[in-house]
Amino acid sequence: MRRIRNRVLSVSTLLILAFAAYAEVPMTKLTIAVKTQSGRPVGQAAVIVRFVKGHSVFKLGKAVRTQWELTSNQDGEALVPAIPQGHIRIQIIAIGYQTYGETFDVTDAEKTIDIKLNPPQQQYTSH
């Protein structure tokens, strides 16, 4: 009787773990709006989006894409189709602006992140 109960428990545990492994990873569709300090869109900016940590990144035995390298359009927007929810690092490089980088905690199914780029700093010399 005890063996049967142990087997039932172990089979139940394995089934629960299998369903948890195949559960869908929560994903986010991001829109990143790149603008100047005055609110004008910045086109042709290099936008790098990388999943840092959070939920599991495996879906039905396949690895989910966790990094995107995009370019903003003429409206200053970069559309990321689907990335796992959690901590996401966004880096932006645009000619004539300071390089931008920050980590965001994303938990929504769809999210728009507005980023304002700073103009370049003055150059200093030690002489």
Where residue 77 sits, what CATH number does that domain have? Answer: 2.60.40.10
Average pLDDT, the chain: 82
The top-scoring range by mean pLDDT among 6-15, 85-94, 116-125 is: 85-94
Q: Is residue 71 part of a domain?
A: yes
pTM of the model: 0.72
- What pLDDT, on a 0 to 100 scale, did the predictor assign at position 52? 85
- The mean per-residue pLDDT over the stretch 94-114 comes to 94
DSSP 11-45: HHHHHHHHHHHHSPPPEEEEEEEEEETTS-B--S-
Domain presence at residue 3: no
Q: Which domain holds residue 96?
A: 25-117
Between strands 46-54 and 67-71, the pairing is: antiparallel
59 belongs to a structural domain: yes
